[in-house]
Structure 1
């Protein structure tokens, strides 16, 4: 095998975000751009010699080409083994499971998650560590540092391998195992849930619609829901992964999964609706005539997890990202277990999971998961919901109503202001930070501020710290507003405004916009967001 050493020049825009590096696809396709980042990753983990890695992605445009490049670079560095999903496909939770099962040294996951795909859309690459979880901040900092000093990289001068046939091949001395991307993950799900009870649910006439959004979860959903659990053929729609996701936006929320929402709010609605995103780690749950917010779904799954075999002995704790509503906190209190509030990003749950401090984790951005892997897991959440419905003999709406009756309701919404000029967004956040000390005691839109801070986190396991994670405004009466800049976009800045109002008793069926109007007005007044951004309304509201 011939190894070529390529001279290169560093790029100054390869700092990883909350989930690796995300850029426009054409950026990754530039000469040396992908190669520089891959080489920097290998540098940050002390090389690849003798190591085993997992490799796969969500099938978006450039996925196959990128995989061939990574294989050749790994071979040049002396990697011992690469485990690759057939066709280049691996959902993010399935990749996490393979890393853990095979005790790999890590994995390369090619995805921009819920972002659109195509040559003129988005691409991404992240490295997951040996525990199966996203690289911690210390590692991503080393990757970024290496991107700024790179001058050369090595790559094997060999033909591409066949990604479409399961089996073993070699590239030089490196063994490449092309594996069925679904099989191991399906076996894992069968070990967690009462598949017999879910089969009986479908046999008894239960109906469902699962929208795979032409993304990676399609093959998994077809195999597990239809083939294994007996859901009717046609339950899974948009189940063939496409390089551009069928020109759709693979983000499972009421805006981008509008066809599913329209069906679920109609007289023809099946008993349950669900959707997943580009790389299979997010989920949306809908019942007949009712939408379950991701924050509520986390709380409801935690409250009912004991109904599934894997969690029958109870859970040790819950973790949620800071912007996620406090609904899960109330469940933790009732169960007598801790609830940890972390920065946004699944990597912050990793140490808690590894230490056994928590069992179930979730984020308001449609991600929930448990200790079975170290990533959020969209299909896992759908299967746990099905297990709960089978065990309780209730509808989705009935589970929701029962939960609110017991724990109260956290009315919640997220407003996204997308592709804001970065300088404008930064000025608005600076304006907020400058006011923090003086805000408590002020009244805006009829609400009095009780506390205001810039969220900082100290990991209770490893002691690592993360500052400036988002501005929190707390108000009398159980209202909260949070401002943060998202790290998942590929151009400009996305300002996310999270609004919350807790109602313990009484009417839990009021209109969300009505219940959040006062805290929204207060947040906009304090931040002066319209003036700083020039935006009168959010681009997306979920």
Structure 2
């Protein structure tokens, strides 16, 4: 027996590229979560009688939200919900599960790399039957429904034990609690040469993986320490905590500071990696060596045939527009297609489903392949381990050889977080207004050879995405990109991306910030970042 409850709409329930993210206190308002989930259910065709996946990154309010969502699923006629034990699931594991179990989709509870805890953020997104994020058409339909919703259907209150494996029943619906790691670990074992990687650790190879007290801890303990034989202690911060231990679960040089220190010591490990709140991002480091996400994608593409899953070669590659053009040079050498898309994994999903690409990535520490329809942090780490085992070289040696062969796209990203939204909007509007006048100008010692607001027409379904970021091309070798991020919940985040191709052997090892100093200053002047935002420096540099 289910009941229909009357409700009224809440403002602002528009899902972004990664679902709906708001402060925890917003989600905890009476009816707020119910309204959004019911809006999703009202827009997903074929939901009644179907199977749904459900889980999250363990952040504050995760367990309570799961109980509510289970009741809503039962009230809307879902036949089976598969839940990760303890309410835990990494985002790539949910994507894999949806595809494996032929589910109608899945609800992922995460705000990714945003802080957790009672004063932090919460998020929820729907992944469709292909395992990937909902299309823009679906998210817009969900938003439209959230603005008119007047009722939700829910089963009576009944606590479900999500900590015990097995099946239970809720108002006629089956709730299946499974180990969130087991199926994903088997998938990884099918893609990579685990025996070769075990040989690395038997030979004394030392690694540190920072799970940042987020979802990948259980996965990393199982895969690295138990299956691959890495010593105990290889995984640090491996217990998921509701507030991520007070840290910021974002795998970059700023927020993974302890890992960076360990890899920088003379006696430090040979290899280091980190992942984020929901397990879809990755940071790769060697001893004293940081690999930019853009370079990582390019290096994996250039070496893909050394790994079992990609031994037959790549159909194509794709990158988000702000990602450096390093992978473009690899694709050219391999004579395979390279697609430039807006930020957001759903754009890669269409290309993957159509069989046009095999590998893809974003500069925001996301890399993935056709094994799922999400970026996958642990997959990227295992790819690097497999590559290190096969090549028998250090991370630095592999990176340096790549630069010698393809050139180095010296690259940096500067994030200005939590700036005034109106100021950020004014900055972007002024840049767009100047686009036509910038082309052909010489600013400082740089000639502007091109300027546009990036737009994308999907080659698979013909959909069009406009206003995806302002690009300034400086000759054939340098680029400046300005873009507002949609992942924060407070104010706006301005992201500034700068790159320059370097082929001179004597400059390949130069510090990126020093090598790009003139372009960094120029980018700030063109956009008047200081004057419009009041910021003298970015909050995060990667």
Give the Å deviation of 1:43: 1.1
Tell me how far apart the structure 1 counterparts of residues 444 and 322 of structure 2 sit (CA, whole Å): 22
Give the Å deviation of 1:47: 6.4
Q: Aligned Cα RMSD in Å?
A: 0.9
Question: Is structure 2 residue 18 aligned with structure 1 residue 12?
Answer: no
Per-residue CA shift, 1:239-283, capped at 9, x if unaligned? 010000001001000100000001111112111001111000001
Per-residue CA shift, 1:311-367, capped at 9, x if unaligned? 000011111000000001011111110110000011110010001100001000000
Tell me how far apart the structure 2 counterparts of residues 345 and 406 of structure 1 sit (CA, whole Å): 30
Q: Which residue in 1 is equivalent to 2:314?
A: 315
Give the Å deviation of 1:517: 1.4
Give the Å deviation of 1:445: 2.8
Give the Å deviation of 1:44: 1.4
Tell me which moved more, 457-466 or 42-51. Answer: 42-51
Question: Is structure 2 residue 377 aligned with structure 1 residue 386?
Answer: no
Mapping of residues 111-510 of structure 1, within 5 Å: 111-476=110-475, 478-506=477-505, 507-510=507-510
Give the Å deviation of 1:78: 0.7
Mapping of residues 75-114 of structure 1, within 5 Å: 75-114=74-113
Give the Å deviation of 1:152: 1.0
Per-residue CA shift, 1:358-397, capped at 9, x if unaligned? 0001000000010000000000000000000000010101
Q: Retained in 1: the 8 A contact 2:215–2:240? A: yes
Q: Retained in 2: the 8 A contact 1:369–1:381? A: yes
Following TM superposition, the consecutive aligned residue runs of length 4 or more in structure 1 with deviations greater than 2 angstroms are none
Give the Å deviation of 1:477: 5.1
Q: Retained in 1: the 8 A contact 2:2–2:171? A: no
Tell me how far apart the structure 1 counterparts of residues 476 and 459 of structure 2 sit (CA, whole Å): 30
Give the Å deviation of 1:48: 2.8
- Secondary structure in 2 matching 1:387: helix
Tell me which moved more, 455-464 or 501-510. Answer: 501-510
Q: Retained in 2: the 8 A contact 1:447–1:518? A: no
Q: Which residue in 2 is equivalent to 1:42?
A: 41
- Secondary structure in 2 matching 1:114: coil
Per-residue CA shift, 1:105-144, capped at 9, x if unaligned? 0000000001110110011000000000001111111011
**Structure 1: which 5+ residue stretches go unaligned?**
none
- Secondary structure in 1 matching 2:108: strand
Q: Which residue in 2 is equivalent to 1:518?
A: 518
Q: Retained in 2: the 8 A contact 1:445–1:518? A: no
Q: TM-score, normalised by structure 2?
A: 0.99
- Secondary structure in 1 matching 2:41: helix
Tell me how far apart the structure 1 counterparts of residues 216 and 56 of structure 2 sit (CA, whole Å): 11
Per-residue CA shift, 1:32-74, capped at 9, x if unaligned? 1111110111111146311111000000000011111111001
Tell me how far apart the structure 1 counterparts of residues 342 and 19 of structure 2 sit (CA, whole Å): 16
Tell me how far apart the structure 2 counterparts of residues 48 and 339 of structure 1 sit (CA, whole Å): 36
Per-residue CA shift, 1:484-536, capped at 9, x if unaligned? 11010001111111111111232201111121112212222221121111111
Tell me how far apart the structure 2 counterparts of residues 489 and 271 of structure 1 sit (CA, whole Å): 34
Tell me how far apart the structure 1 counterparts of residues 508 and 474 of structure 2 sit (CA, whole Å): 20
Give the Å deviation of 1:6: 1.6
Q: Retained in 2: the 8 A contact 1:323–1:482? A: yes
Give the Å deviation of 1:290: 0.6
Tell me how far apart the structure 2 counterparts of residues 310 and 511 of structure 1 sit (CA, whole Å): 35
Give the Å deviation of 1:300: 0.6
Tell me which moved more, 10-19 or 364-373. Answer: 10-19
Aligned length: 541
Tell me how far apart the structure 1 counterparts of residues 454 and 461 of structure 2 sit (CA, whole Å): 18
Tell me how far apart the structure 2 counterparts of residues 5 and 477 of structure 1 sit (CA, whole Å): 61
Q: Which residue in 1 is equivalent to 2:59?
A: 60
Q: Retained in 2: the 8 A contact 1:48–1:74? A: no
- Secondary structure in 2 matching 1:9: coil
Per-residue CA shift, 1:201-241, capped at 9, x if unaligned? 11011110011100000000000001000001110011010
Q: Retained in 1: the 8 A contact 2:46–2:104? A: no
Tell me how far apart the structure 1 counterparts of residues 540 and 129 of structure 2 sit (CA, whole Å): 36
Q: Retained in 2: the 8 A contact 1:444–1:525? A: no
Give the Å deviation of 1:446: 1.3
Give the Å deviation of 1:4: 2.1
**Structure 2: which 5+ residue stretches go unaligned?**
none
- Secondary structure in 2 matching 1:497: strand
- Secondary structure in 1 matching 2:357: coil
- Secondary structure in 2 matching 1:97: helix
Tell me how far apart the structure 1 counterparts of residues 290 and 302 of structure 2 sit (CA, whole Å): 18
Tell me how far apart the structure 2 counterparts of residues 529 and 471 of structure 1 sit (CA, whole Å): 14
Question: Is structure 2 residue 530 aligned with structure 1 residue 537?
Answer: no
- Secondary structure in 1 matching 2:486: coil
Tell me how far apart the structure 2 counterparts of residues 128 and 358 of structure 1 sit (CA, whole Å): 20
Tell me how far apart the structure 1 counterparts of residues 169 and 387 of structure 2 sit (CA, whole Å): 45
- Secondary structure in 1 matching 2:313: coil
